Amino acid sequence: MTTDLTAFAHSVFEAQPFSRFLAAELTDVGPDSAEIRVRNRPELQQQHGFLHGGVISYLADNALTFAGGLALGGDALTAEYKINYSRPAIGETAVARAFALTTTRRQAVCQCTVHMLGDGEERLVAVAQGTIVVAAKD
Amino acid sequence: MTTDLTAFAHSVFEAQPFSRFLAAELTDVGPDSAEIRVRNRPELQQQHGFLHGGVISYLADNALTFAGGLALGGDALTAEYKINYSRPAIGETAVARAFALTTTRRQAVCQCTVHMLGDGEERLVAVAQGTIVVAAKD
Amino acid sequence: MTTDLTAFAHSVFEAQPFSRFLAAELTDVGPDSAEIRVRNRPELQQQHGFLHGGVISYLADNALTFAGGLALGGDALTAEYKINYSRPAIGETAVARAFALTTTRRQAVCQCTVHMLGDGEERLVAVAQGTIVVAAKD
Amino acid sequence: MTTDLTAFAHSVFEAQPFSRFLAAELTDVGPDSAEIRVRNRPELQQQHGFLHGGVISYLADNALTFAGGLALGGDALTAEYKINYSRPAIGETAVARAFALTTTRRQAVCQCTVHMLGDGEERLVAVAQGTIVVAAKD
């Protein structure tokens, strides 16, 4: 992966007001992968004190987009995805790791896991799969 | 639907810090349906000025949960869902409307549309489908 | 819808050996919708005597493709879909009805229900949602 | 995994008339995984001579069910799944390999790949993810 593509990914991420609003961080990028983290804090939670599913979905969606965009080599967007929540999201930090499984000229099929970190452990809380497409110029 | 169930839905929604953080509102509930709205504002957007997919996902996920919970008669959670984004989310307000299609004792299969409102129009920007399950007591 | 497009849909369906192998029928087409039926018979069942999920999936997948292809005006294929099974598939005939919810130049987002018919009733056994794309020429 | 569970999986598979109708084979089982194969032949194809998406879906659905059932330790069924088709299904044999990612008392979240084998190569043609639940006794 070129330095340019890494820099492009970070510049896109920094240009997302919603990612800053959540205080999310793009913590790793590769030729066809991306990792995004967010620290758990009260305003990101639901009624039982777990990280809200909407935050988990944001992480999965955005990590899928970046993994797919990197695999496709440029500006991309999530066309669709599905997510399975496997366990309540308890812990200090949520980390989403996505990678492109298969890529054609116009789209990448990507998968993502979301773990909660805390007490020296990682617990899988969600799994996602989706389609990332090259952003249309028209 | 009993008044109790309506009140329960609103009390759960008000108890979600993340929903307050986004300034989302539970604007309608029925025996097996729910509507949630959020006003578009800069901190909820992505790099092109559209409402971020993570916000659209939050709306769909949460509307699905409430529609399913109302259909199931109590505390519930989203086990999984899929979402298709059909158009960039431009407009003043996003509204997610979900309903339960089919309900058994333990789960409801629900669908949801997300529209952007503005200039006197509604534009469909996403469609979702998922499984809502009764919150486990164990 | 032009007569040509109706004829095209039927000719494509007739050209599918697997549809003939299952004795499925394309029983209705519209400008952005399609209905496919298959009679329940022993060789299409699973171990409990219900219609096999693979047959339900075939019906949903194929109905989605035809609905999307009709909406897009030509040769199309299912890029992805998800299906929720809501009830055991018992009855004489399975019918899948799909329609395009939203269409752009290159793709249609479609939904589909699958019902079992029998004893004068229709019972919803599955719900699906997916993306149909214009068949690539390259 | 106990010999009993392996034998149970094979006996369930053999009891599926639709699997025999397609001439599918359960070629491998593990404590939380399953592999199913089917030979490509004309009656399983669509209009362009590729293996029909309905056959790919059957393979994914059934492999997911067996992987989840093995992980859950008994009779199980697919509640829902999503599948992305990544490439036309050309080749001699299709093989679906599924495994359980995470398992609770009542359900397993599973993933599956489907490859086409031929000319000494394996080509990924589909990826699936779904929820397998313990078969209800009620």
Neighboring chains of A (3 or more beta-carbon pairs < 8 A): B, C, D
For residue range A49-98, list pLDDT tens digits in order: 999 999 999 999 999 999 999 999 999 999 999 999 999 999 999 999 99
Q: What percent of chain D has pLDDT over 70?
A: 97
What is the structure's pLDDT at C68?
98
Whether the CB of C74 is below 8 Å from some CB of chain D: the reply is: no
Whether the CB of D105 is below 8 Å from some CB of chain C: the reply is: no
Paired with C28 in beta bridges are C35
Could D131 and B82 be called an inter-chain contact, meaning their C-beta atoms sit closer than 8 Å?
no
pLDDT at D64 exceeding the cut of 70: yes
pLDDT at D77 exceeding the cut of 60: yes
- CA–CA–CA angle C45, C47, C49 (5° rounding): 50
pLDDT at B45 exceeding the cut of 90: yes
pLDDT at D138 exceeding the cut of 90: no
**C48-58 burial code (b ≥16 CB/10 A, e <16):** eebbbbbbbbb
Whether the CB of C79 is below 8 Å from some CB of chain A: the reply is: yes
What is the phi/psi pair of residue C70, to 5°?
Answer: -65, -40
pLDDT at D105 exceeding the cut of 80: yes
Neighboring chains of C (3 or more beta-carbon pairs < 8 A): A, B, D
Which stretches within chain C are classed as H helix? Answer: 3-14, 17-21, 53-72
| Nearest C-alpha neighbor of A108 from the set C79, D73, B86, C127 | C79
User: What confidence tier does A2 reach under pLDDT thresholds 50, 70, 90?
Assistant: low
Half-sphere exposure of A20 (CA within 13 A, CB side): 13
Q: Between helices D53-72 and C53-72, what is the axis angle to 10°?
A: 140
Q: What is the DSSP letter of B135?
A: P
Domains defined along chain D, listed by start: 3-134 (3.10.129.10)
pLDDT at C2 exceeding the cut of 70: no
Contacts of A109 in chain D (CB under 8 A): 84, 86, 127
Q: What is the mean pLDDT of residues D104-128?
A: 96
User: What confidence tier does D1 reach under pLDDT thresholds 50, 70, 90?
Assistant: low
Contacts for A22 with CB less than 8 Å, ≥ 6 apart: A38, A44, A55, A58, B54
Whether the CB of A65 is below 8 Å from some CB of chain B: the reply is: yes
Find the distance separating the first CA and the last CA of chain C, reported in whole Å. 27
| Nearest C-alpha neighbor of C46 from the set D137, D77, D56 | D77
Could B52 and A44 be called an inter-chain contact, meaning their C-beta atoms sit closer than 8 Å?
no
DSSP-based three-state secondary structure for B7 = helix
- Sign of the Cα torsion B13, B15, B19, B23 reads positive
pLDDT at D137 exceeding the cut of 90: no
Q: How far apart are CA A68 and CA C138, in angstroms?
A: 21
For residue range C17-44, list pLDDT tens digits in order: 999 999 999 999 999 999 999 999 999 9
In 10 A of CB D42, how many CB atoms? 9
What is the structure's pLDDT at A136?
75
Paired with C80 in beta bridges are C131, D84
For residue range B54-97, list pLDDT tens digits in order: 999 999 999 999 999 999 999 999 999 999 999 999 999 999 99
Q: What is the mean pLDDT of residues C97-110?
A: 96
Find the distance separating the first CA and the last CA of chain B, reported in whole Å. 27
Contacts of A109 in chain C (CB under 8 A): 80
Q: What secondary structure does DSSP assign to B57-105, as a single string? A: HHHHHHHHHHHHHHHHTS-EEEEEEEEEE-S---SSEEEEEEEEEEE-S
DSSP-based three-state secondary structure for D2 = coil
Task: State how beta strands A25-30 and B76-85 pair.
Answer: unpaired
Structure tokens at C22: 């299952």
Q: In what order do the strands lie in the sheet with C33-39?
A: C25-30, C33-39, C93-103, C107-118, C121-134, C76-85, D76-85, D121-134, D107-118, D93-103, D33-39, D25-30
Q: How far apart are CA B119 and CA B127, in angstroms?
A: 22
Structure tokens at B137: 């007591």
Q: What is the mean pLDDT of residues B118-129?
A: 96
Contacts of B60 in chain C (CB under 8 A): none
Structure tokens at A118: 């805390």
pLDDT at A118 exceeding the cut of 90: yes
Q: Which of A43, A45, A85 sits opposite B79 (nearest CB)?
A: A85
Structure tokens at A28: 């790793």
DSSP-based three-state secondary structure for D15 = coil
Q: What percent of chain C has pLDDT over 90?
A: 90
Q: What is the mean pLDDT of residues C123-134?
A: 98
Structure tokens at D65: 């069910």
pLDDT at A19 exceeding the cut of 80: yes
User: What confidence tier does A1 reach under pLDDT thresholds 50, 70, 90?
Assistant: low
Q: How far apart are CA B120 and CA B103, in angstroms?
A: 35
pLDDT at B137 exceeding the cut of 90: no
What is the structure's pLDDT at A138?
47
| Nearest C-alpha neighbor of A110 from the set A72, A58, A57 | A72
Strands (E), D1-138: 25-30, 33-39, 76-85, 93-103, 107-118, 121-134
Q: What secondary structure does DSSP assign to D44-80, as a single string? A: GB-TTSSBPHHHHHHHHHHHHHHHHHHHHTS-EEEEE
Q: How far apart are CA B73 and CA B20, in angstroms?
A: 24
Predicted-complex ipTM score: 0.95
pLDDT at A137 exceeding the cut of 70: no
Could C129 and B82 be called an inter-chain contact, meaning their C-beta atoms sit closer than 8 Å?
yes
pLDDT at A108 exceeding the cut of 90: yes
Q: How far apart are CA D104 and CA D73, in angstroms?
A: 11
- Sign of the Cα torsion B30, B32, B38, B40 reads negative
Q: What is the mean pLDDT of residues A108-131?
A: 97
Contacts for D15 with CB less than 8 Å, ≥ 6 apart: C47
Neighboring chains of B (3 or more beta-carbon pairs < 8 A): A, C, D
pLDDT at A43 exceeding the cut of 90: yes
pLDDT at D2 exceeding the cut of 90: no
Q: How far apart are CA D98 and CA D108, in angstroms?
A: 12
Q: In what order do the strands lie in the sheet with B33-39?
A: A25-30, A33-39, A93-103, A107-118, A121-134, A76-85, B76-85, B121-134, B107-118, B93-103, B33-39, B25-30
Structure tokens at B97: 């409307």
